[in-house]
Amino acid sequence: MVKKRVRNGSIVLLHELEQTLRILPLLIKELKEEGYSFKVL
């Protein structure tokens, strides 16, 4: 669901839930492959 809503300039807030921690490496990999970058706020 997150990936469908990400747009250029999006800020994604994630909570430290078991489900989030499981999917996070895959989400980051796929978004990087699409050209997105990540910053800590």
* pLDDT computed for residue 3 by the predictor: 79
d(CA 7, CA 37): 12
Q: For residue range 1-41, what is the model confidence (pLDDT) as tens digits? A: 677 889 888 888 888 899 989 999 999 999 999 999 988 87
Hey, what are 9's tokens? 């300039």
* pLDDT computed for residue 30 by the predictor: 93
Residue 3's CB is within 10 A of a number of other CB atoms, namely 13
